[in-house]
Every structure is written in C-alpha cells, then in structure tokens.
Structure 1
C-alpha cells in the first residue's frame, strides 16, 4: 500500500515541486513502510532514503520509489540534496506538524532549497480513507471485538483493572494485532469518572460500571472502541445515565455524513446529554478521526468546522462522568458517506450486565 500518486497529484495545489515526508505516519502513508528515513515525492519520480537497519525490509516492501541507503559517505542531507539537484526541486514541502525546530534548522542549513510548510497536503489526503485503508481498520476492529468477547468471560469481582487491561492486550495480540493503538483504559466504579484514567490495582466490585477503552493496529491502521458494562445489577440512575449516553451516540451517528461539520455532529449528540441535565458532565468532544494514528483530523467537537470528507473514519464517543461516583462512555467508529455513515463497530451497545 502506498499513496505516492495521490501526493504527487496535490503538489501544484500547494505551489511546491516536491513533498518531503519525514514523520513515521507520513512515511507509512507515502510508501507503506514503518522504518526511519525520508521520502521525496515529485510528479515524475519518488525516492526513499533509509539506513542499514531498515534497508533489507524496505527493499522487500516499498514500491513506486527508488530506494537508497545512507552510509558514511552519503548522509541524509547529501542524498536529499542530490535528489533536489537531479529533480530540479526549488520548493520542497515538509510536514510542519511533526518536524521539530531543531530538525527544520538542520535541514534548512544543509539544503539548497526553499522549505515550504505543507502539512495540509498530507492531512487532507489522510482524512479520506480509501478502501484498502478501511479494510485494514475493519480487520483491526474485528480483532478488538474478539478480545471484548473474551474479556466478558474474564471479568468477575476481585479482578483488578490492570488484569483486565493486560488480558485485553494479550488477546488482541494473539488474535493478530501488530500492537496496541494506545494503552488500554480500564476504570471501574468511582474511577469511571476519569475519561483517561489509568488502570490500577483497584479490584472491580459488584454494583459497579467498568469502562474499557481499547484498540489495536492491523496493517498499520488503528481500531478504537469503548464499552461500559455493569458488574452485577446497576442502579436505576446508572441505567438512566447509560441510556442517555447511548441515545447521544445514536443522535451523533444520525447526524454524521460527508459535507457536514464536526461541530454539527458534536452538537447533535451534546444536545441529548444537555437536555437530560448532564451537560456539565460531558467535557470532551464527541469524536476524532482515526487511521494510521489514533487521533487524526478532522474532529467532531465544539470547535471544528471542517467539512467531513467521504471516507473520513470518525470515532463516536460521547460520555457522562459523575465525579467520584461513576462514568459511562460508548465508542464506535463511523465512516462518512455522501448519504450518512457506516458504523464499522459491531460489538453490542445495549447495556451488558455481567
């Protein structure tokens, strides 16, 4: 999988002769390879430079770009300048979201070329997933869902949050994940009011909610899901809050489609929670795009007015968090279409009581 042709086609729009990919996500998006190096993309030719640690794997994986290895006599700046001279590059776009000031200064001093910030070129392309990307994301989601099925059999009073998190990771790996999308969040009872709480030694108890936020990477692409389950019979208030969150998510999904803003999707879900009297307990955004990275753009929050493109894969994760008592979050990932969205998450959302 690579996206070199798509990147090359966008160069005139940004007034640049070539695009330099130097970040891990950018490199993977460009040439479909996780290593370390630089990708130079022009309309006529692409070059990929890496070192001895990755050259053998790169030669087996990378297509569509000439591959060159650095050595003592050919540093990255030397190879980049050679490409600049050979390909007649005067304006070279770079990933300003990822490049540090030190990296920029290093390249700006070493290269005879104008460096032009062009993060929008790559971000715009990455926002709209193609079918190959979506296939990988669906596979990652199915792996996570298998792990969820297993964890439901594992949870019982006395098991710790850490043990639940470890079991989720183990099962996702044994079911085919490359690695985790992020460190799993597992919080129970009063810890559930911490949206990004860290699993601890607390033992889960009957009568509590347990919120699990987790995902894995397959084929370089992330999955992301959250489920809140009850251990033992929940109270009427717990059931009410759970239902409000579920209805909020369904309202957000109903408002989701290409051509609308993330702000409007967030508003549809947020209104349900506010109307139920819990508005102050929903502090984060409704969702974020998912792909090579677990957090991409555009976002579905109170501020983002970017129009959703066809193929955007956006999390749907409203929540209510009552400090010191409990919390509820339900998260799916939905792919934007012209007429609506496709929810690629198949795990049940109705309240599960263990």
Structure 2
C-alpha cells in the first residue's frame, strides 16, 4: 500500500499542494477501503481524508487506514474547502468527469485546480508481498478452473457454456471472475476482445479462452488457445508462430528491460512469419488492482521493467474469416529475471 509520506512527496515534485483522488483503485490503494467506487480521498500537506457516504460507515471504519468523513456532495466539498484555500489542488485528469470537475470549481473557488496523471498509479507499479500473495492466489484459482473445464471444450458445446463453467469454477474456489471471460471459437477467434457467444464450437477448430480471477481486489489474467479435433495446417502454423513469439518474449523478461523492446521482439518474430500485420494490439500490460494498468508493453512505451512488477505477455494473430490465436502468461519481474505465474498447460500443435 502506498504510504502517505511517499504520495505527499510526489505531489510536491508534481507542483501541487493537494490531490483529489477519484479513481476507485487509487482510493483503495491509498486507504484500504474496498468500495473505492463510492469513495474519494483528499490528500493535503497535513494528512488525508476518506470521503464516503453513510452506507459505508462501519465498513470504512474497519478498512480505512486514514480518517473518514461520512457525507454526500455537496457536504463533501464544503468540508474539504477550508483546508484547500489558496492551494494548488491536483485532480485525476484520466478519471474525473467534466460534470464533477465543474462541481469542484464551484465549491473550491479559492483553489487552483490542476490536472495530473499517474501520480498514484506510479506507486502501484511494484507489488509488495501482500499484493503478490493475492495475485498468486488469483492465478492459482484461474489455473485450476481452466484445468477443470478444458475437457468440456469440444464440438457441440457453446462458447457461453464454457464461459459459465469457468466462472462457476472460480466462484466455487472463492474468487470472482476478473473480467468478462472470452471464449472465441473458429472465426470468432479473429476478434481479440470478442465475448463468449451462443456459437456452437465445431470440429477441427481453435478456441481462444481469455480469463482471470480476482482475489482481495487483485487480478490475474491468462489466455490459452486450444485445439478441438484436427485443425488445418494453416491454423497450426498460426499457433506455432504465436507460441514462438510468446515464449521468446517471456524468456526476455527481466529487470532493466525496456517494455518497448519486448513488444518489438514478439512483433518482429511474427513479422518474420508473415503475420505481423495481424498482431493488432500491444504485447501486454501490468496487472494488479486493475486488470489493465502500468507498465504498458507497447512499441512506444517508455516504461522499464523493475522487480515486483506483474505483467502479461500476450501476442496474438487475428485473421478475418479464418480465426485467431492468442497465448498469454502472467509474469512477475524478479531481482534476477522473472517468474511465470500462470501454469496452465499450453498445447503443442
């Protein structure tokens, strides 16, 4: 969890005196309050306050590591106003709506509101042992669910049925699904974020399953592409190319490695197979309180990997009217290299 002293130091370096935190994951990271979507945090040079409403009085008192003020707007803004008089107040530009920004301006006329980005997220890049324990457990549950459900992926079963079985397996193990599970069979595999549909899985197809679990607010994320029957030689070629790119990128993960270089490595390998044009997204992303967070593993990223970061490596190939392949591992950056957290078997075609 981010310490208040660290965050106040970051505010000074960013040229602001205070910060109004509205991103739910950042609210949780600062306070421990698990209903961050119904909370806000004000950080000032003198301390911090969690603002939430009366539905969460008992919960906030039990969870929050900072003092609480229980009220709804406009009382929330009126309570904060005296402490902010004459200060430069940062707000999370990538989360606060225009309407809510107007509300802040109306109630804090004696403050200067300054858009900021990534102040809290920067402290969330490296996970501590408590966070890693939750992510490991989330991935363990996801692996177990996939292993349990894999035999059910066969001709005559719908994508939705597979997604439901995966979610039920994770629920029974004490976790929630981290996101809407993707089960994309046959030509649906050409949709990188295609949701599970009523399509019936056919013979000799590839099926892509993208899934994750959530434990104590922390997520896992993993993708496997599996064969049903005997896919064509071309589908097998696509699979082998993606697997080669994925394994090469995973092997290159370590502290000090530029995220952009990993993307280039995988993309160049797929280009060598004539498939680079079909790799339609970045190589991966960080995982934690959000399924998608920093660092970003795209070709233009300036991020450099550090120990404690948890990232995905997920190259893919998506060909319209043919299908697609994506293989994704969840990887922890360690002091000496990396540790692959996702243990579900990868098929060899």
Q: The TM-score by the shorter chain falls in which range?
A: over 0.9
> For residues 116-151 of structure 1, what are the alpha-carbon distances to aligned partners after superposition, in whole Å with 9 as ceiling and x for unaligned?
223231121122222222221111111111110111
Q: Secondary structure at the match of 2:193?
A: coil
Structure-1 separation of matches of 2:184 and 2:257:
33
Tell me the equivalent position of 2:53. Answer: 51
Equivalent residue for 2:80? Answer: 80
Please give the secondary structure, in 2, of the residue aligned with 1:53.
helix
What is the aligned residue count? 346
Match of 2:69 in 1: 68
Q: CA separation in 2, counterparts of 1:26 and 1:233?
A: 47
**Structure 2: segments with no counterpart, 5+ residues:** none
1:283 counterpart residue number: 280
1:321 and 2:323 equivalent?
A: no
List aligned pairs for 1:93-172, cutoff 5 A.
93-111=90-108, 112-172=110-170
Name the structure 1 match of 2:292.
295
Mapped partners of 1:254, 1:71: distance in 2: 50
Deviations 1:241-269 (A, max 9, x none): 21211110111112222333221110111
Match for residue 243 of structure 1?
240
Structure 1 portions without partners, runs of 5+: none
In the TM superposition, residue 52 of structure 1 has moved relative to its aligned partner by: 0.7
Partners in 2 of 1:128 and 1:43 — Cα distance? 25
TM-score (normalizing by structure 2) = 0.92
Report SS of the residue matched to 2:151.
Answer: helix
> Could you say what secondary structure the match of 2:294 adopts?
strand
Tell me how far apart the structure 2 counterparts of residues 71 and 218 of structure 1 sit (CA, whole Å): 29
Q: Name the TM-score, length of structure 1 as normaliser.
A: 0.91
What is the DSSP-based 3-state SS (H/G/I as helix, E as strand, rest coil) of the residue aligned with 1:200? coil
Return the alpha-carbon distance in structure 2 between the equivalents of residues 321 and 286 of structure 1: 14
**Paired position in structure 2 for 1:8:** 8
User: Does the 8 Å contact 1:3/1:31 carry over to 2?
Assistant: no
RMSD: 2.0
Residue 310 of structure 1: SS of its match in structure 2? coil
User: Distance in 1 between the 2:159 and 2:234 partners?
Assistant: 23
Tell me the CA shift for residue 321 of structure 1: 1.8
Which runs of at least 4 in structure 1 moved beyond 4 Å after TM superposition?
none
